[in-house]
Chains A and B, each alone.
Chain A
Amino acid sequence: KNEVEQSPQNLTAQEGVFITINCSYSVGISALHWLQQHPGGGIVSLFMLSSGKKKHGRLIATINIQEKHSSLHITASHPRDSAVYICAVYNTDKLIFGTGTRLQVFP
């Protein structure tokens, strides 16, 4: 079993809908990253959080440390949100990554 699990693996949505991507982890962490990866490989950090909730534009990330679970929400999804979203946790000074969720948003 992977130390960081994401669901769903693939997600197709119509423009405008509310999207949730889930991340569960089984190791102790000091923080959790949500990352976005576009075709071509570049990875961009969306959020780093260790408790509670953060919001940036249409993106919201939450974490429940006791349940070892985090969610990434996208409100009013748009085709430009199409990308791979990766959850990664900090464990002993290094990141452990989930396998990613491939999101496609259609007009």
Chain B
Amino acid sequence: DTGVSQNPRHKITKRGQNVTFRCDPISEHNRLYWYRQTLGQGPEFLTYFQNEAQLEKSRLLSDRFSAERPKGSFSTLEIQRTEQGDSAMYLCASWLAGYNEQFFGPGTRLTVL
């Protein structure tokens, strides 16, 4: 257990539905990252927060994706109008600035039918 939790662990949804995932980082960590991993590939960067500010978004993050970290603690990632191509593992990681090490959550596996 790395101290980073993600919920739900698994989500099955029908195409066109909206889904929301939650990540609870290690409490004193000021940076929070979201990644997406498809089968057989390494994770890909989606976005990251420093405290409550979203500092960078990948071009992978279409306008159907939105992420928030309202109080600089937990974060949510919402996907609107899901598509089959959104099926993937969504990973969250937290990082204390000044330490070059990220701690990963267990991931949320999304299946879009």
Mark A residues whose CB is within 8 Å of B: 4, 30-31, 33, 35, 40-45, 48, 50, 86, 88, 90, 93-100
Interface residues of B in 56-105 (CB under 8 A from A): 56, 89, 91, 93, 100-104
Task: Tell me how far the C-beta of A12 lies from the nearest C-beta in chain B, rounded to whole angstroms.
Answer: 17
Q: Does B25 contact A (CB under 8 A)?
A: no
**B56 A94 Cβ-Cβ under 8 A:** yes
What's the tally of chain B residues with a CB closer than 8 Å to chain A? 24
A99 CA to B104 CA in the complex, in Å? 17
* Neighbouring A residues of B44 by C-beta, 8 Å: 97
List chain B positions with a Cβ less than 8 A from chain A: 2, 33, 35, 37, 40-45, 48, 55-56, 89, 91, 93, 100-104, 106-107, 109
